[in-house]
Structures are given as structure tokens and as C-alpha cells.
């Protein structure tokens, strides 16, 4: 395993943490359940942790597509607003 994403379910933010540093950048794409990309984040080379703000999202289910260190992963994210 090269990375973890947490918490899930979440409120306001997600954290991407790399377990293996890379000289190459990576990316995280967050889309709604219709496939519309709402946010794209570049993971900088040798970055250990990225906090991604999703507080402006509507509560619901989202898809995360992650590319990092020659690995690709797709996972579902549940966003619950505390507002």
C-alpha cells in the first residue's frame, strides 16, 4: 500500500497520506456520482500529507480517483455536513 485517505465518512476535509514518498507528482480527482469532476488536487513530489478542503460540497457520496507512485485507486467517499 502506497497511501491512505481518511476519514471516511468525513466532515469538511479529507487527508491524503503517502506511505511511500515519490519524486513524481500524483493527483486526486473528486467527482460526484454523475461523474462530474468537482475538484482536482496535485500531490507534490515528496509530500507526506495533504489536507483537502471539501467543506463547500453538498453532503452525499463522491468518487475519489487517485494516481500516485505508479498506483491507481478509486474509492467512494461519504461527506456528512455538520452545518
**Paired residues of 49 in beta bridges:** 17
* Cα of 52 vs its chain's centroid, Å: 7
Cα torsion through 55, 56, 60, 62, rounded to 10: -90
> Which tens digit of pLDDT belongs to each residue from 43-57?
999 999 999 999 999
The model's pTM is 0.89
> Which tens digit of pLDDT belongs to each residue from 56-73?
999 999 999 999 888 889
Is the pLDDT reported for residue 81 higher than 90? no
Amino acid at each position: 500500500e502506497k497511501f491512505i485517505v481518511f476519514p471516511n465518512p468525513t466532515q469538511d476535509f479529507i487527508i491524503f497520506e503517502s506511505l511511500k514518498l515519490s519524486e513524481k507528482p500524483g493527483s486526486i480527482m473528486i467527482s460526484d456520482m454523475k461523474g462530474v469532476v468537482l475538484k482536482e488536487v496535485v500531490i507534490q513530489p515528496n509530500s507526506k500529507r495533504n489536507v483537502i478542503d471539501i467543506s463547500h460540497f453538498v453532503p452525499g457520496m463522491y468518487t475519489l480517483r487517485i494516481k500516485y507512485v505508479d498506483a491507481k485507486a478509486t474509492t467512494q467517499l461519504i461527506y456528512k455536513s455538520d452545518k
